Structures are given as structure tokens and as C-alpha cells.
């Protein structure tokens, strides 16, 4: 039996505390939220530029290293808001749709995210109205050191507070 590659070891070691308890990532990710909010204007402009350039019928985005908890929904909200506002303002002739892939290591608490998704969708409809751009959220567990998506299938990748792990794997 050979030794596991370093990337497999990192996948087993590096993970957030799941759930919503006092020590969970969901309750202890204020610093990460501040970074996401500080980068918001840059992220929004990047999304606008991609959308205005391509005008895809289905805008596909992936959040690499999404983790779990409320920060995941901050990124999703940015994507939905930009596409919703642009498609309304530009009076796009086709109905836009958004597909969002949430990616993290298999040990991530995806259940926590998906349990919160229905309430989140309800909140978006209250904020944006019934005509909000339809959006679909799916999990894509795995390491972003490997291929996660088919070639040319994603328009926008987002990553916050996960790229520092690149130095941990060769």
C-alpha cells in the first residue's frame, strides 16, 4: 500500500465544524463575512462584465470553498442580485436563469446549507418580488485541486478564504 497523496490527506484534515452549534463555522465566520462584503463591489463588477459580454440564457456560477453557514448565502445573493438587476435593466429578450454550484470538500456540512435553502428562497422572493430570476443551487463536493466541472460549463468562479490552502498541496 502506497502513501496517500498530500491532496487526499488535506481533504481528510481540513474541514470546518458543521452544524449550527457554538463552535460551528456557521457561528464563527465573522471575519470571512467581512472579507466577502469588502470584496462585494469587485465581485459584482466581475459578474456584470461576464453577463454583459455573454448574455447567457443560463448563467452558471461556482463558489469554490463555500463552506457552510450564512456566508454561503452572501455570495449567492450577490450573484442573484446582479443578474436580476441587469436582466431587468437591459430588458433581455430571453428569460435568464441562474445555476449556482456550491463546492467544498466532502466533509463540508452541505446538509446545513440545503436545510436553510427554502427559507433563503422565500426571503429572496420577498426582497426581489415574485419575478426574481429563477435560480437553482446544487452541491459539488470535492477538491478544487481536481476537475469539478465540464470544460467551458461555468461562467463565473468565486472563492473567498479558500485559496490560501493552495500552498498546502503541491
Segment 142-169, tens digit of pLDDT: 888 888 999 999 999 988 765 555 545 4
For the chain, the domain total comes to 1
Distance from C-alpha of 137 to C-alpha of 119, rounded to nearest angstrom:
13
Distance from C-alpha of 22 to C-alpha of 98, rounded to nearest angstrom:
33
Query: What is the pTM (predicted TM-score) of this model?
Result: 0.78
On whether residue 160 sits in a domain, the answer given is yes
Q: Which residue has the higher pLDDT, 112 or 50?
A: 50
- Residue 137: in which H helix or E strand, if any? strand 135-139
pLDDT of residue 13: 47
pLDDT of residue 156: 95
Question: Which DSSP symbol is given to 161?
Answer: S
Check which CATH number belongs to the domain holding 48 and give it.
Answer: 3.40.50.150
What would the pLDDT profile of 81-126 be if each residue is shown by its tens digit? Answer: 999 998 888 776 667 899 999 998 887 778 888 988 999 999 999 9
On whether residue 15 sits in a domain, the answer given is no
What would the pLDDT profile of 19-37 be if each residue is shown by its tens digit? Answer: 555 655 555 556 666 777 8
Give the pLDDT mean for 60-70.
85
On whether residue 153 sits in a domain, the answer given is yes
On whether residue 17 sits in a domain, the answer given is no
On whether residue 31 sits in a domain, the answer given is no
> Euclidean distance between the first and final Cα of the chain, in Å?
21
- Biggest alpha carbon–alpha carbon distance for the chain: 60
Amino acid at each position: 500500500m502506497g502513501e496517500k497523496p498530500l491532496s487526499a490527506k488535506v481533504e481528510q484534515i481540513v474541514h470546518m465544524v458543521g452544524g449550527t452549534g457554538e463552535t460551528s463555522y456557521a457561528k464563527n465566520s465573522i471575519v470571512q463575512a467581512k472579507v466577502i462584503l469588502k470584496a462585494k463591489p469587485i465581485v459584482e463588477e466581475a459578474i456584470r462584465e461576464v453577463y454583459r459580454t455573454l448574455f447567457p440564457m443560463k448563467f452558471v456560477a461556482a463558489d469554490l470553498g463555500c463552506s457552510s453557514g450564512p456566508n454561503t448565502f452572501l455570495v449567492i445573493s450577490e450573484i442573484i442580485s446582479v443578474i436580476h438587476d441587469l436582466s431587468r435593466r437591459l430588458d433581455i429578450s430571453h428569460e435568464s436563469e441562474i445555476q449556482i454550484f456550491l463546492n467544498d470538500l466532502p466533509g463540508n456540512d452541505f446538509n446545513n446549507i440545503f436545510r436553510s435553502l427554502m427559507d433563503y428562497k422565500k426571503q429572496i422572493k420577498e426582497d426581489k418580488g415574485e419575478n426574481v430570476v429563477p435560480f437553482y443551487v446544487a452541491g459539488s463536493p470535492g477538491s478544487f485541486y481536481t476537475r469539478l466541472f465540464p470544460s467551458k460549463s461555468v461562467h463565473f468562479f468565486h472563492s473567498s478564504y479558500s485559496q490560501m490552502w493552495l500552498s498546502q498541496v503541491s
